[in-house]
Structure 1
Amino acid sequence: MEYVRLMALPLKSARQPSSPQRLQVRRRLAAAAMELFASKGYEATTVDEIAATAGVARRTFFRHFRSKEEAIFPDHDDTLVRVEAVLAAAPAREHPIDTVCRGIKQVMRMYAASPAVSVQRYRLTREVPTLREREIASVSRYERLFTRYLLGQFDEQSHNGDEPLLAEVAAGAVVTAHNHVLRRWLRRGGEGDVEAELDHAFAIVRRTFGALPVIAASSGGAATAAVAGSGEVVVAVARTNAPLDEVMRTIERALAGPAG
């Protein structure tokens, strides 16, 4: 049985990674902001003080950030560009859930690159609601990106118009798994093998969403589907050129039916 899917348009981004010099200034401003927030308090700190501590002019600050709360998240824009690149260059045989999991690893690596800074920022965001709101807004951009990507992987007329809901739920599951592991790691002071923990969390997500009948592997990849009616009919869908072991796993999952 041939598997037919709606071809997604390739993801393209007009954003470009920041130059090393620009990123260096952004990180210097972020370090100054965190230092002042910790010593003076968020409310008492001004943009002028952040700029002066970083050794730049006020106008330079606003070339990099729109507000002082935005200043302690210097790397999210560049990380989003890297995540988009992962999605756009996904191997043809890779399942979209696997692609999204690889994409969000770029976010974890951003935090893990500077554990001490990440822990300090985490503590600040716990204390200052405005910073927490800014962090949530930054993270939500990844979730929207993943939702759009997954939606592009659905079969044509796959689930009676529920594709947007399912794409959003699956994307939310990946982001939630990532954030759960990240918070645990930050509470431990940035200690431990966070990527191994993340892989364990993603394995749980894959078990839950990897066989969704509405989400297909990218062109050439395996696909699974199961439709049961009154316990009498089971339909399994796979590529025509799928290896036998893939076909058997597809059939086994279909026969097993939904958990519970």
Structure 2
Amino acid sequence: MPQPADARRRTARTSSAPTTSDAPESAAGSRAAAQRLKMRRELAAAAMELFATKGYEATTVDEIAAAAGVARRTFFRHFRSKEEAIFPDHDDTLVRAEAVLNAAPAHEHPLDTVCRGIKEVMKMYAASPAVSVERYRLTREVPTLREREIASVARYERLFTRYLLGHFDERDHHDGNDDPLLAEVAASAVVTAHNHVLRRWLRAGGRGDVETQLDHAFAIVRETFGSNIGAGRAGAEQAPADGQPRSGDGVLVAVARTDAPLPEVMRTIEEALRRR
């Protein structure tokens, strides 16, 4: 039996409602995220300017909020403290780095994937060289900010270590198996290589071809550790070149100068592994 015209119109409106509302909601979410990041960056810029002119200790949250043209409560909706305000992009960058890992093609070597992931961090710094250089100066002068930066770096390192560990068969994580050790050392090496290049770039005032320098550093890491890390969770195991099983106590200690060139740092780690 045919429906009345007004009933058909109501049915049409009801059936089409989900598809017409999804897009605006998605767009609204994207706009909200963009506005949130914009406000975080504005607050960070205000904080850095005040830190540079008044000093970190003398600057208050109220002053940062006023300089950004917002209320104190708005500041605390975005940051928990004034030292956190100087690092507005780390949370979003960590999400992007994790997205790189999650979307990695099956054929890609896991160490190459990790190197691509940490490039998201370098992109964050390179997007605003002047801001990054000033932030580097402040973190060197203020211990609290330095501690905050170290904590941020540790989050990336944990992310990459978990990813590399995921490319080993967990059933083989037993005494005498060096896979977990290699995963942690390799993840640390990638982060160390990145930070070495980043510090050199920042000390040069944010000038230079940082992309080429980073690729060179990663090539050294890949050459040092790449052949020892499996390219799949259940991939075939690689036998040692001498045909002898490896053993170890699961702990590696390597000592190098903080200002040592990256190749020297990599050689120190490699030699320590060989002596185990």
TM-score, scaled to structure 1: 0.78
Q: Distance in 1 between matches of 2:155 and 2:233?
A: 26
- How far apart are the structure 2 equivalents of 1:40 and 1:85? 39
The alignment status of 1:194 with 2:207, answered yes or no, reads no
Q: Post-superposition shift, 1:157?
A: 1.2
Aligned counterparts of 1:166 and 1:219: Cα–Cα separation in 2: 15
Q: Which residue of 2 aligns with 1:55?
A: 69
Structure 2 residue runs of 5 or longer lacking an equivalent are 1-28, 246-272
Alignment check: 8 A CA contact 2:173 2:180 kept = no
Which one of 67, 71, 79 corresponds to residue 93 of structure 2? 79
RMSD of aligned alpha carbons: 2.3
If asked which structure has higher relative contact order (CA below 8 Å, sep 6+), I would say: 1
Aligned to 1:225: 238
**2:198 matched to 1:182?**
yes
More helix by share: 2
Gaps spanning 5+ residues in structure 1: where?
Answer: 1-15, 236-257
Structure showing greater Rg: 2
Please, which of 189, 205, 212 is the counterpart of residue 173 of structure 1?
189
CA distance in 2, matches of 1:173, 1:21: 36
Following the alignment from structure 1 to structure 2, what is the Cα–Cα distance between the partners of residues 210 and 163?
12
> Which residue identity does 1:188 align to in structure 2?
A
Q: Deviations over 1:93-148 (max 9, x none)?
A: 00100000000000000000000110010011111111111111111100000011
Letter in 1 for 2:50: L
Equivalent residues, number:
217
Give the alignment of 1:58-137 within 5 angstroms: 58-137=72-151
Q: Which secondary structure does the structure 2 equivalent of 1:92 belong to?
A: coil
Work out the CA distance in 1 between the residues paired with 2:52 and 2:232.
47
Deviation for aligned residue 1:220: 9.7
1:157 aligns with 2:176: no
Judged with a 3 Å threshold, the aligned counterparts in structure 2 of structure 1 residues 95 and 143 are, in CA distance, closer, same or farther, namely same
Deviation readout 1:19-59 (Å, 9 max, x if unpaired): 11000000000001100111111111000100110111111
Q: Percent identity?
A: 78
Deviation at 1:151, TM superposition (A): 0.5
Contact 2:44–2:86 under 8 Å retained in 1 = yes
